[in-house]
Structure 1
Amino acid sequence: MMEDAITGEAVHAAVTGQSRKGIFLEYKGEELLLPAEEVNKPAGDTAEVFIYEDKQGKLTATMNIPTVTKSTYDWVYVVGGIDAGVFVDIGLPKDILVSKDDLPDAKELWPQKGDRLFVTLAHDRMKRLKAMPITEDMIEEERDRAQNEYRGSEVRGNVYGHKDAGTCIITEEGVRGFIHESEASFIPRLGQSVEGRVIAVKEDGTINVSLRDERVVAQGKDADMILEVLHKRGGQMPFTDKSTPEEIQSAFGLSKASFKRALGKLMKEKIINQEPGRTYLIDKEEQ
């Protein structure tokens, strides 16, 4: 293996010959072939090419320069995985590995086929090309700033990292977002596309995002209020899902639909029960 890896960048290589197989090039003392099928324009004394190792490990070149290089980042699709990591398609005949060393410790958080990663290229210890997910430093340098008008809006983004308390995403608009663990019912995978609601815009232009359905959140709050009323009334109340909208509005300040959803949640969780004319706590009368 060469002392200094020359793969992973667009370079101008000297043209040394040509045959039906393609164009022969020389770059930093290395001879390589630009296959005929990779030639997309005439070459003069030099040709601008991207150098990589083919599936057999041989140096080769292409004029179809990918948007991901050692000095650039871009979004790419995950196309598969092995124990050593996951492969991404950067537009070459060969897919590039994202090493397990650059993936979450928990394998269930690894990207799956069809997920998108924001990556750059680097070399592993053997000086082979690998793809690396974006770092927090690069995010800070490149991200856009959210305006206050973002609050309450729906956003879509891809996960680029995990922290102890939650998940980090980049939105389609290029804004950094954070999903606290309390604002999601699951831990999204690295690279997974998620949709959520902006619940806060921070002074630094980052956003906090919730993946929880507003109706589900409201349902939980309404259920807590009903439980509070039940406890204050000794474990029962003269309201049921048959009560009139006016009675429910007067007693709870809720619509009948919201009241019924909250009752349904509590009954499904076997916290309350109903009979004609009253609702009561199960643990007081049946346990």
Structure 2
Amino acid sequence: MVKVGDYNVLKVVRAVDFGFYLDDGAAGILLPKRFAPEGLAIGDEIKVFVYHDSEGRVIATTQHPKGVVGDIVKMKAVTVTNQGAFLDWGLMKDIFVPKSKQLSGMRQGAEYLVKIYLDEQTGRVAATEKIEPFLSNENLTVKEKDIVDLTVYRRTDIGYLVIINNIHTGVLHFNEIYQNIGVGDKMKGYVKTIRPENKIDVVIGRPGYNRVEDEAEKILRLLNENNGYLPYHDKSDPEEIYNFFGMSKKAFKMATGNLYKQQKITFTKTGIKLAES
């Protein structure tokens, strides 16, 4: 069965002046001549992307779109109409975002993070800016240390909300970020922690390959980055400690206690500071 909006490996069953027809179990799907590799012949199998052209016909191409059905990608609006907007999909035909699937109206030239989906009524590929209904952490398909695909969703007070494997959401804390990132960026990461209520914390990179700090190293780095002083101590709210350091209050107290014993930090009435060398 041919999947519209995705890649398919199909056999060439007929050649015509304007291209090749690929086997779909029916009349065949046209691969226009300009997208056919040199030497393609009847009986060959070829990997193609299948979608509807501007006239509503199912067609094949060897071009690579910016995303397939199910993907969440950032694309630029190239045309805006009263019915919706067309985004640059990387194909001959732009992808359509109905007005009802936009958050606050799209502007020509601006970029938007959207999910690509197959419209149930028309069977055509479309996109929506309303991503939230497609995301859920109710039934997790990941576990701690799993390598995952991350898409930066939006900035928050504690870091960036990211989309995990196009299914779940997680948080990439500011103190775990060592590179410039922005909404729509994609990267590999891994699940660092799964907290109560299936809240997920992630880190960019792969376990063992990126810079991994223990709690004490992180506290020292953050002190150095903040002029040797941080307004956190053993009476601080656990949520405040977690939001800033990405660790539990218990881990924070143990780490600062060890650093104090090693004479690397001192305690003040309002926080912690680097010890004078």
TM-score normalised by L of structure 2: 0.48
